Amino acid sequence: MPIRQLSVSGVRNLQPLTLTPHPYINFLYGDNGSGKSSVLESIALMASGKSFRTSQFKFVLSQQAERMELSLCIDDENLGEAELHSLRLKTGDQLLKINGSVLTSQAEAAHWLPVQVIEPNTFRLLSGSPEERRQFIDWGVFHVEHEFMDHWKTFRKQLKQRNAVLKQKEQQWLEVWNPGFIESSEAIDAQRQSYLKRFKPEFDAALAQLDETLEVELAYYRGWEKDTDLASVLERQQERDLAIGYTQSGPHRAELRIKCGKQPAVEILSRGQQKTVVAALKVAQGSLFQKESDRRTIYLVDDLASELDEKHRFALCKLLEDLKCQVFITSIDKEKLTDIWRPTASKVFHVEHGVVTEIDHALPAASTTHD
């Protein structure tokens, strides 16, 4: 199973805990403010170094704590066993280790923890900025294309240098930085396009299972004209780039366009339909990852009952169960989950005033039936 044991200390209102989750489905229920979302947040912090609830670490750290410590014991089918440990001090200093060895990059932890988050803010994937959709694509590419991170690091360096040259109006240096910028840009674009070609059928299948009435198309804009090579685009835009002081075209301008017909899906679909589309995107990404890596995705689903109606909750839960992946789901009411969905293997945890307690997980017969 991916996460065999989780230890948390110094996160929000959570009392220090050591949790042994089920390898498949884990329900966490409790009142608002009880700390159930903070358990999921702790896993996300270890995977990405970021919270899905806030951009400021000071709000994640418990008010009484001087430090936050997270430890995860992982048993991955493909990679083997590992213990990840994260220490963050109130001063901002931090330390990340794997099996006792210091990591210099968050990417290594992310590699061990392929985490997908479905929570209220996730639905900005449709309505938010192009950057959020680029990050969505790049999660998938990062986890299946081993060279992607090297290309991305090279590209970011080249983009930074090129923008510095443009800002300083040092036109003579562009011919020095352009070749490397073009090479890394084209490598990133090729991997993104290849990934999305494989991703689209997975998305179509997931969306059909969640809501067969929805018709949504995915289109990829690479960040410069489709039928023009990047070198020609940069040459044509050089004068304008120098005038504004930054690079207008490249993979940093790429966009995943999600449409209904010719219109942006966010302008056509209801709020509930948008939620369903985003859930399909997340499930499809995890499904493709599992097929191509022979590893399982970890899903963190926060406040599911408030985001989807009963029919779509049931459909999403069934999709996740079919993936046979590890899932952590929170809800205020246990019955809103267990009454409509009875997974074959699960654990149930009650969260109250920051204390997490495992309870009898023999779920009652489902009170609602679905065709």
Number of H helices, E strands in the chain: 12, 15
What digits encode the pLDDT tens for the residues 84-93? 999 999 988 9
Instruction: Read off the pLDDT of each residue in 264-292 and give the average, rounded to a whole number.
Output: 93
How far apart CA 274 and CA 280 sit, in angstroms, is 10
333 is in an annotated binding site: no
Residue 44 confidence (pLDDT) above 50? yes
What digits encode the pLDDT tens for the residues 181-196? 999 999 999 999 999 9
User: What's the CATH code, domain 1-114+297-371?
Assistant: 3.40.50.300
37 is in an annotated binding site: yes
Q: Give the residues across from 85 on adjacent strands.
A: 71, 97
CB 289 within 8 A of CB 322: no
Tell me the fold of 124-294: Glutathione S-transferase Yfyf (Class Pi); Chain A, domain 2 (1.20.1050)
Residue 312 confidence (pLDDT) above 90? no
pLDDT at position 184 is: 96
What digits encode the pLDDT tens for the residues 98-135? 999 999 889 989 999 999 999 888 878 998 999 999 99
Tokens of 118: 């479905």
pLDDT at position 137 is: 96
Residue 367 confidence (pLDDT) above 50? no
Q: What is the largest CA-CA distance in the chain?
A: 73
- Binned at pLDDT 50, 70 and 90, residue 369 comes out as very low
CB 200 within 8 A of CB 167: no
Residues with Cβ within 8 Å of residue 217, at least 6 apart in sequence: 258, 259, 260, 261
Say which residue, 332 or 179, is predicted with more confidence.
179
32 is in an annotated binding site: yes
pTM of the predicted model as reported, rounded to 2 decimal places: 0.91
Instruction: Read off the pLDDT of each residue in 27-38 and give the average, rounded to a whole number.
Output: 92
Domain ranges for the chain, please list them.
1-114+297-371, 124-294
80 is in an annotated binding site: no
pLDDT at position 92 is: 84
pLDDT at position 343 is: 74
pLDDT at position 217 is: 96
35 is in an annotated binding site: yes
pLDDT at position 364 is: 45
49 is in an annotated binding site: no
- Indicate the SS3 state at residue 101: strand
pLDDT at position 339 is: 64
30 is in an annotated binding site: yes
Lowest model confidence (mean pLDDT) among 30-34, 241-245, 336-340 = 336-340
pLDDT at position 338 is: 65
CA distances from 361 to 23, 152, 350 (A): 14, 44, 11
Rg (CA), the chain: 22
**Which residue carries 């790049």 as its tokens?**
138
pLDDT at position 352 is: 94
Residue 337 confidence (pLDDT) above 90? no
**Residue length of the chain:** 371
| Arithmetic mean of pLDDT over the chain | 90
- Binned at pLDDT 50, 70 and 90, residue 365 comes out as very low
How far apart CA 314 and CA 251 sit, in angstroms, is 38
Residue 366 confidence (pLDDT) above 50? no
State which H helix or E strand residue 204 sits in: helix 174-210
User: Do the domains spanning 1-114+297-371 and 124-294 agree at the CATH topology level?
Assistant: no
